[in-house]
Chain A
Amino acid sequence: MEQVVQTRGLYKTFPRKGGAAQTATHYCPGCEHGVLHKLIGEALADLDLQDRTIVISPVGCGVFAYYYFDTGNVQVAHGRAAAVGTGISRTQNNAVVVSYQGDGDLASIGLNETLQAANRGEKIAVFFVNNTVYGMTGGQMAPTTLVGSKTITSPEGRDPVQAGYPLHMAELINQLRAPVYIARVSFSNMGKLRRARQAIRKALEIQRDGKGYAFVEVLMACPTNQKMNVEEATRFVAEQMEVEYPLGVLRDRAAEAVPIVRSESDYAKETLDRIFSLDTDRAPDAQLTPDAPTFRVKMAGFGGQGVLSMGIILARTACQAGKFVSWYPSYGPEQRGGTANCGVVMSGTPVGTPLVTASDILVAMNRPSLEKFLRDVKPGGLLLYDAAMGEVTPPAGVRALAVPATRLAQEGGSARAANTAMVGVLAALGGFDLPERAYREAITCNFAGKDAVVQANLAVFDHARAWALEQELP
């Protein structure tokens, strides 16, 4: 039988490309992206991996790789192939993940994720096209640009004093323990091309067997941006690039590597609830009650005053009572003495934004917080402020009450529980219509495991609530 050697593993035509010439690639004449596509496609077909494979297209000239590979395809944001590849690999144990990236995508914006994924030994075959220049954007200097090479952003040639030295990705990755296979190849003569073909197959065999991370750096030139014909481009690769970036297999542990078997991913709600301890009666599912009012509460004060805990207790209370809730903190880097605030939203319908920009209630534990957030209180809203800050004149239409929170906490038996005292006042005056039982369970839950603290806070809550019920709001 006659044998016809032709391209395999790629689509016969490229309708995703649209427009004219749907049987040709979008690559410039002489560009070796097409050579690499053909070699990857051939290996995937020979290894019978197309139905298991997801090729990740990068940002760069390879952005449209999904036009060509007859596999599953994803096109991802610039430099994010390693992260997306990790996600795919971790959720689809049997997937063969192929990441196809250039030097801007992998070695510049995606450098961190590339190294982290390599260091985790993710099951990804990475094909890294190093052509020492940014192609898609029009010939800018890349991390891999050779010293002295002229690009449109290094018109005098790359100066290492200004721009550092060419980045050796294969060698960098070779510093990590996890990768199974690391090679650098080129197509600058047919012997090297056939070795590249073997390296590509090896990287994909490692994926077939689920053995882990494989990295193949492919040197090529960019005839268009480097203004070379294919002979000059080939000489550039052989005589300059390969001097800076030596070819070879830097590591091959395929024989001794064992398949990585990760537990099946389980995103069922019951499983997630269990992981986050939400499968208890303290976290009932919210009940849809569209007619119930929505409350947006802002709480603010010094860091360390328990402002964030106050919000959590209120949110837990509403959650316990079957409301949809959000709790959204904002605080400085300091653990104590900075400012802190949080917004709590309680609703009968799912909460959209957790931001509280217009509040029904403001709880201000100090004057700077009061001054910052008072203007956001809606007309008819309620201001509760710590009486320690002195007299406050609220804006028209805002009801205000000075709460001697620290004194109420002391009287209740726990001087540190001024925040719980405020919760007691909210329970009495907030108008939330939440059952008292829910507050008590939220407080108990918040200080779980510390019975004396729970009892003290419950006492403060009761005392402050009783005090508030005797107050008259304007």
Chain B
Amino acid sequence: MNQLPPDVPAPYPVIDPLECKSCGRCVMVCPKKVLELGDELNARGYAFTRYKGAGCIGCLNCFYACPEPNAIKVHLPAKET
């Protein structure tokens, strides 16, 4: 997996465990395969998606493919000027 240099701020997704319905669309469209469905169930009974913690390139595929409005946010670092 291509890792960005550690001194450059990396993008990352934030998945709200409660809002995920475990459909797997985000996992399916992630080009870096850094998302996975976990084993743990949320309060609504779904095995929510987790970010593996590294490797996000900020492509926003997961955000756009996710049907739940409140399940995924993606943090993008400031562009260098």
Instruction: Give complex CA distance A223, B74 in Å.
Output: 26
Interface presence of B29 (CB below 8 A): yes
User: Given contacts A35-B65, A37-B69, A231-B28, is CB(A4)–CB(B22) below 8 Å?
Assistant: no
Instruction: Give complex CA distance A315, B9 in Å.
Output: 83
Interface presence of A27 (CB below 8 A): yes
User: Which residues of B47-79 are within 8 A (CB) of A?
Assistant: 59-61, 63-70, 73-78
Question: Is A35 in contact with B21, judged by CB distance below 8 angstroms?
Answer: no
Chain A, interface residues (CB within 8 Å), range = 35 or more
Q: Which chain B positions have C-beta within 8 A of A189?
A: 29
Question: Is B73 in contact with A6, judged by CB distance below 8 angstroms?
Answer: yes
Interface presence of A31 (CB below 8 A): yes
Question: Is A230 in contact with B64, judged by CB distance below 8 angstroms?
Answer: no
Interface SS of B by simple majority: loop
Which of A17-25, A262-270, A296-304, A456-464 touches B? Answer: A17-25
Instruction: Give complex CA distance A4, B23 in Å.
Output: 23
- Most chain B C-beta atoms within 10 Å of own C-beta, residue among A3, A10, A223: A3
User: Given contacts A29-B23, A230-B28, is CB(A5)–CB(B68) below 8 Å?
Assistant: no
* Number of residues from B at the complex interface, CB < 8 A: 29
Interface presence of A187 (CB below 8 A): yes
User: Given contacts A30-B21, A30-B23, is CB(A21)–CB(B64) below 8 Å?
Assistant: no
User: Given contacts A5-B74, A231-B28, is CB(A23)–CB(B22) below 8 Å?
Assistant: no
Interface presence of A197 (CB below 8 A): yes
Question: Is B77 in contact with A2, judged by CB distance below 8 angstroms?
Answer: yes
Question: Is A34 in contact with B64, judged by CB distance below 8 angstroms?
Answer: no
CB distance from B15 to the nearest CB of A (A): 12
CB distance from A332 to the nearest CB of B (A): 55
Q: Which chain A positions have C-beta within 8 A of B59?
A: 190
Question: Is B65 in contact with A187, judged by CB distance below 8 angstroms?
Answer: yes
Question: Is A2 in contact with B68, judged by CB distance below 8 angstroms?
Answer: no
5 nearest A-B pairs in the assembled complex, by CB-CB distance: A34-B67, A30-B23, A29-B21, A7-B69, A6-B73
Residues of B within 8 A of A (CB): 9, 18-19, 21-25, 28-29, 44, 46, 59-61, 63-70, 73-78
